[in-house]
Structures are given as structure tokens and as C-alpha cells.
Amino acid sequence: MTLHITAPLSDLVASYQRGHTLPAAFYTAPELFETDLDVFFHRHWIMVGVTAEIPEPGDVRKVDIGRNSILLLRDDDMQVRAFHNVCRHRGARIVSEEQTSVGRLVCPYHQWSYDLTGELVHAAHMGKGLDRSCHGLKPVNLKVISGIIFICIADEAPADIEEIADILGARLQPFRLDEARVAHAKTIVEPGNWKLSVDNNRECYHCEGSHPELINTFVGLDIGFDPDELGDEEKAEYAEHCRIAAAQVAEWEAQGFASRAVEFYEGHETMMRTERFVIAGAGESHTLDGKAACRKLLGGLTDPRFGDMHLHTHNSWSHFFADHAVISWIIPLAPDQTELRTVWLVNKDAREGEDYDLDRLTEVWIATNQQDADLVTIAQQGVSSVAYQPGPLSQFCETAVDRNIAWYVERLRKHGFGE
Ligand code: FES
Ligand SMILES: [Fe+2]
């Protein structure tokens, strides 16, 4: 069912109440979906891939975002580049495969050819009047941070990506993700609005009831969690976890590995949160028993107990462990359809069957992603009902959801939507 907006967008924005979910139209209306694409997927930095997916010169990945199609590629000098997938002749889409490898990018329409730096190098029957240097592929703003690819489609990209690159670059450097190998990649479609996918990711209120695999290792204590609200047993458990986590974080920091939470929400153009979490169970990785799934660790790491370096942005969530990384990002497809792509990275020298078992490496997050997709499904069904009205968020375990939504509304207002 498609619900159209019945009130001006400014009224809808004004009706948002802090501490609550959004009015239904934000999750269902096609008009708002278009606004979301324009503001949050064209004018903000979005995660769209990892360099390990395009390891060799000529490797190309196509990423479609609304009406735009972007090519991520590796040039002959091993530099990663991003271009609009639009021919400079009559605009045809050049690459239609999701992943390919090419010597040159050749438009299938009239065979204009571009080298891997985007320069137009061949255009038959155009006479002497064509200035090839003015007809290269249009580049897209690109920022590669430790092997993770961010783009911004708008001409003017938020400047705070440099600050984020400094923070993340230092934290991710030990994992050397730019040298890692893709062990597995999986794309699923969540039948829900992209904001429901993200909100679902920002809390672990649902973990106990839905993620039997993940809760073995992920301690889902929320930012702003209030221990006074807990029962005696939970309070003791919480206090013990806090003691262990604080000691571990202090130890990592003393070793020179930044681990404390850094948050970019309200007041920031780009949303970002990162923190190194302590892992429960055996304490090494997100596997069923918490032990590392891959024998060869990432980068030059030697200790498998390196925590869970967590990162989320407004279209992504990732976990970096000593033995592997699991990196996920979303692209909205429709008001009620969101594509979720996840890649699992391991040391480039790690061999499947010898150093790791693929099922063991991937089983926790494959299960978790599907469980989350099922939750997003029922959330979308509910917000599409006439009975839905914005509901209150827990101030103890949904504070990140609240801040997520507040950032979203703030950004809408900053871009001229709302009062
Ligand atoms: S549209 Fe690409 S060569 Fe004509
Ligand atoms: Fe979840």
C-alpha cells in the first residue's frame, strides 16, 4: 500500500516529537522517499563499498542509488575512482553489470571509450570539432577511509568527512582493510523503509528476543543506559560488565589503540559513531562461541582479543575484529524496500578450509541480518496501518534511535524542509 502525504512536509516535520518515532508518512510516502534520496543519499556522504571488492586494475563495481548509477573502479595505478555511469555522448548507461573487469569503459551505444581515469580516449566519426578533454566521465566525490569507500553525489560534499577520516583512519589502520580479501558477500532486500532498517540497527532492545546467535558475543548496552532502572540481578550484571569494559578500554587506550566512543549526531553534517566494544564469551569475535573464526588475523595483528571496533553511519553498520571484519551498508530501493549488502573481510593470505570455515565465519551475521529483516518487515507493516501513531522510545535502550531520528529531522530542516 502506498500512502501519500496529505499535509505539507513542513507540517510533518513540525509534528515530530523528540523521544518518539516519526509520523507514518516518513516511512511510507513516495514523496518523502524522493526527498530522503535527495537529502540523505545525494547530499550526504554514504558508504557504498570496500576497496577489497575491486582489488585489481580494471575492476569495476556499479552502485545504483535512485536514478543515479555510480561506477567504483580501480585504475592502472591502483587508485580507486568513482564516476557517474553516464556516457558523455548521449547519456547512455555504460556499465549494466553489478561487477565487471575492463581495460577501458566502452559505451555499448556508439562505443565511446573511456580509460580508467575517466578520460575520453575514443569517439568515432565525431570530426575534429570534439574536444575530448571536455568529455570525460563525471567524477563523484570520493573518500576512501582505510579501505572503506564513501561517496557524495552532490557537487558540494559535507566537509566533516576529513575529521571523520582522521578518527576512523587511526582506529582502522591496524586492520589494514585495504589489503584484506572478500571472504563472502551477500545482498538481501529488507521489506521496509531505510529508516526502519537503520533504527532497528541502532538498538539492542530487540536482541534478547530475536538474536540468539548474536547475544552470545554482543553486549548490547545502549548509550545512556540507566542502571538505576534495573533489577538487582541485572544491576549486578551491568556493573560487572561496566567494570570489565572500562578496564579493557583503558588497557587498549594505554597501548595506543583509540577505543572510546566518538559520536557525531546532532550538530554534525555527517552522522558517525564508533567505539571499541568488549566481546562477551571467549571475547575474540562474533562467532557462536566468541572465538576467532579465522586463524590468520587481519593486518599485522597478533592478539585475537582486540575487541569489536564498531562503526555506524546513517547508511551503514560495521564490526571490525582481529580475525575478520563484517561491513554492511544500505541503499533505499523504494519507500518500503531497502537493499542491505554485507561483506566479510579476512586477511588476504587466509585460505578457506585451512584458516577459516566459511559457515563459521558468516553464520552469526547471516542469521542476524535475516532476523533484522524480519523485524523490519513487521515494523513496515505496522507503520502502514491507519492505527499507527508515533510511539515512545526507551530512554534507556533506544537513545541511539532517538538521536538518529533527531539528526535526520535536523538535517531535513537544514536542507530547507520543515520550518
Ligand atoms: S551514448 Fe554512449 S556512445 Fe553514444
Ligand atoms: Fe538486530
Write out pLDDT tens, residues 305-319: 999 999 999 999 999
Same-domain check for residues 351 and 315:
yes
**CATH code at position 66:** 2.102.10.10
Give the count of alpha carbons within 13 A of 53, CB side only: 24
> Among 94, 95, 109, which residue has the most ligand 1 atoms within 8 Å of its CB, making it the best to mutate?
109
Mean pLDDT of 239-259: 89
The answer to the question of residue 30 being in a domain is no
Mean pLDDT of 139-154: 98
Distance in angstroms (rounded) separating the CA atoms of residues 404 and 266? 8
- Cβ atoms of 137 and 32 within 8 Å: the answer is no
Same-domain check for residues 137 and 177:
no
Burial category of 131 from C-beta neighbours within 10 Å (exposed 0-12, middle 13-18, buried 19 and up): exposed
Write out pLDDT tens, residues 148-202: 999 999 999 999 999 999 999 999 999 999 999 999 999 999 999 999 999 999 9
Distance in angstroms (rounded) separating the CA atoms of residues 152 and 142? 7
Ligand nearest to the CA of 373: 2
Q: Is 26 in the pocket of ligand 1 (CB under 6 A)?
A: no
Distance in angstroms (rounded) separating the CA atoms of residues 329 and 318? 8
Same-domain check for residues 61 and 173:
no
Same-domain check for residues 96 and 203:
no
Same-domain check for residues 224 and 138:
no
Domain count within the chain: 2
Phi, psi torsion values for 371, nearest 5 degrees = -60, -40
- For CA atoms 21, 27, 32, 38, the dihedral sign is positive
CA distances from 24 to 2, 16, 47, 311 (A): 11, 11, 26, 28
The answer to the question of residue 177 being in a domain is yes
Same-domain check for residues 261 and 296:
yes
Final residue in a domain of this structure, among 100, 115, 144:
144
User: Measuring from atom 4 of ligand 1, which residue has the nearest CA?
Assistant: 110
* 361-389 core/surface letters (b: 16 or more CB in 10 A; e: else): bbbbbbebbebbbebbeebbeebbeeebe
Same-domain check for residues 332 and 213:
yes
Q: For all residues of the chain together, what is the average pLDDT?
A: 94
Give the count of alpha carbons within 13 A of 387, CB side only: 3
DSSP conformation class of 394: P
User: Measuring from atom 3 of ligand 1, which residue has the nearest CA?
Assistant: 110
pLDDT at 223 over 50: no
Q: Is 89 in the pocket of ligand 1 (CB under 6 A)?
A: yes
The answer to the question of residue 318 being in a domain is yes
Strand 262-264 and strand 272-277: pairing?
Answer: antiparallel
- Cβ atoms of 224 and 367 within 8 Å: the answer is no
Distance in angstroms (rounded) separating the CA atoms of residues 418 and 411? 10
The answer to the question of residue 110 being in a domain is yes
**CATH code at position 184:** 3.90.380.10
> Among 69, 85, 87, which residue has the most ligand 1 atoms within 8 Å of its CB, making it the best to mutate?
87
Q: How far is the CA of 46 from the centre of ligand 2 (A)?
A: 21
The answer to the question of residue 23 being in a domain is no
Q: How far is the CA of 81 from the centre of ligand 1 (A)?
A: 21
Q: Is 106 in the pocket of ligand 1 (CB under 6 A)?
A: no
What confidence category does residue 384 fall into, taking pLDDT thresholds of 50, 70 and 90? very high
Which structural domain, as residue segments, surrounds residue 131? 50-144
Mean pLDDT of 276-294: 93
Same-domain check for residues 310 and 215:
yes
Mean pLDDT of 249-258: 93
